[in-house]
């Protein structure tokens, strides 16, 4: 299991969020989540310009084993999607916290970030799940 980067925030449903320098927020799924799903074969991305609300499913990641919704933790507008995942969904398996990012949201309510889990809290959640 790879180290959880300290600059991320997490949802209990295993999405991560990173606040970028320009205030926009990048979303992906955790390394733990990709491990549970196994080899990814498709990623269904939202469209740039879509408005999404916190808690909405706005992408689907599909592995050989299962399909899983990806929820946005933040309300706002999609400003970028990782279209490289269309051809190489396995990038999420290889680098969930980096090249495997899924979409970027311009937040309307940045305070929503405060509701997310810190890396330590998320690590604790994973430990509890293991038991």
Partner 1 sequence: MTQTNAPQKTVLNETHRALGAKMVDFGGWDMPLNYGSQIEEHHQVRRDAGMFDVSHMTVVDLHGERVRPFLRYLLANSVDKLVKPGKALYTCMLDPQGGVIDDLIVYYLGETFFRLVVNAATRDKDLAWITQQAASFAVEVKERPELAMIAVQGPQAREKALGVLAEVDRARIAKLGKFSAAAAQTADGGAALFVARTGYTGEDGFEIIVPEDKAVALWNALLAAGIRPAGLGARDTLRLEAGMNLYGQDMDETVSPYEAALAWTVALDEGRDFIGRGVLEAQKTAGAPRRMIGLVMDEKGVLRHGQVVLTANGEGEILSGTFSPTLGKSIAFARVPAGELPLGSAGNVRVDIRGKHVPVRVVAFPFVRDGRPQEGI
Q: Element (H or E) spanning 40, and its range?
A: strand 40-44
Binding mask 22-51 for partner 1 (x = CB under 8 A): -------------x--xx-xx-x-------
Residues numbered 62 to 121 that lie near partner 1 (CB under 8 A) are 62, 64-65, 67, 90, 93
Judged by beta carbon, residue 69 or residue 120, the one nearer partner 1 is 69
Q: Element (H or E) spanning 34, and its range?
A: helix 31-37
Question: Least distance from C-beta 41 to partner 1, angstroms?
Answer: 5
Those residues with Cβ within 8 angstroms of residue 49's Cβ, 6 or more apart along the chain or in another chain: 77, 78
Lookup result for tokens 């999405």: 15
Q: What are phi and psi of 15, to 5 degrees?
A: -85, 150
Question: Least distance from C-beta 37 to partner 1, angstroms?
Answer: 11
Positions touching partner 1 (CB under 8 A) are 35, 38-39, 41-42, 44, 62, 64-65, 67, 90, 93
């Amino acid at each position: 299991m790879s180290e959880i980067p300290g600059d991320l925030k997490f949802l209990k449903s295993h999405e991560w969020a990173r606040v970028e320098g320009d205030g926009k927020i990048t979303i992906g799924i955790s390394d733990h989540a990709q491990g549970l799903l196994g080899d990814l074969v498709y990623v269904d991305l939202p469209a740039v310009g879509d408005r999404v609300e916190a808690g909405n499913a706005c992408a689907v990641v599909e592995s050989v084993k299962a399909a899983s919704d990806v929820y946005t933790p933040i309300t706002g507008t999609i400003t970028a999607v990782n279209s490289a995942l269309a051809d190489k969904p396995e990038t999420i398996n290889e680098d969930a916290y980096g090249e495997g990012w899924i979409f970027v949201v311009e937040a309307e309510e940045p305070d929503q970030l405060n509701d997310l889990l810190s890396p330590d809290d998320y690590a604790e959640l994973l430990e509890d799940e293991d038991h």
